[in-house]
Amino acid sequence: MSIFAQGDLRKVRERDIDIEHGVITIHHPTKSKNKIKTVRLLPEHVEEIAEMKRLFPALPELKFFRHHGGVRSQKPNTPFGPKYFKVWWDRACEKLGVQGLDLYGGTRHTSTTEIARAAGTASAREATAHETNKAFDRYCQFQNDTAFKRVHSHLVACAK
């Protein structure tokens, strides 16, 4: 997933998710008010989102991250608040077996670092649209991938 804040994600509307082309468009990012950001989706994410849209059809103007009923204090189609959004982030992390990854780290630090690991720091800086080196250096924790490869190999071996 690309680099954006929780507020950016909570603003995504149904119309902003283009299943056909596999992209999400962030029209009003919180940190850069005049820029539009696009996020490319993996094919498996497109499939998941397409299924959600089929199960929960909505008008294009509705927020994607919204209540569908079942929460006593919330009416259907009202957008998630920051606390409830975090609840779902934590559930997704738990389902994936990810521990100790907060939303901010998962969308800023982790994504920036993974892009740098895969494509180099110059590509990561371009992809994340960081305007200063200082900000980029805070988010990009990539040093080299020796440790990453060892951990990844270990995880793959354990999964078998």
Read off the pLDDT of each residue in 67-79 and give the average, rounded to a whole number: 84
pLDDT at 50: 93
Any idea of the CA torsion for 127, 130, 28, 67, to the nearest 10 degrees? 70
Q: How many Å is the Cα radius of gyration of the chain?
A: 17
This prediction has a pTM of 0.60
Read off the pLDDT of each residue in 63-79 and give the average, rounded to a whole number: 85
Read off the pLDDT of each residue in 4-12 and give the average, rounded to a whole number: 76
Q: Are the CB atoms for 14 and 53 separated by under 8 Å?
A: yes
Residue 130: phi and psi, rounded to 5, are -70, 130
Residue 48: phi and psi, rounded to 5, are -60, -45
Look over the chain and give the mean of its residue pLDDT values, rounded to a whole number: 75
The answer to whether residue 146 scores a pLDDT higher than 60 is no
pLDDT at 51: 93
pLDDT at 2: 39
pLDDT at 44: 87
pLDDT at 40: 78
pLDDT (tens digit, 9 = 90+) per residue, 103-145?
766 666 556 666 666 667 777 666 666 566 665 665 555 555 5
> Alpha-carbon distance 26 to 16, whole Å?
7
pLDDT at 105: 66
Any idea of the CA torsion for 125, 82, 48, 105, to the nearest 10 degrees? 30
pLDDT at 142: 53
pLDDT at 3: 44
pLDDT at 16: 93
Question: Which DSSP string do the residues of 6-65 spell out, in sequence order?
Answer: HHHHHH-BGGGEETTTTEEEESS-SS-TT--EEEEPPHHHHHHHHHHHHHS---TTSBSS
pLDDT at 76: 87
Is residue 74 very low, low, confident or very high in pLDDT (cuts 50, 70, 90)? confident
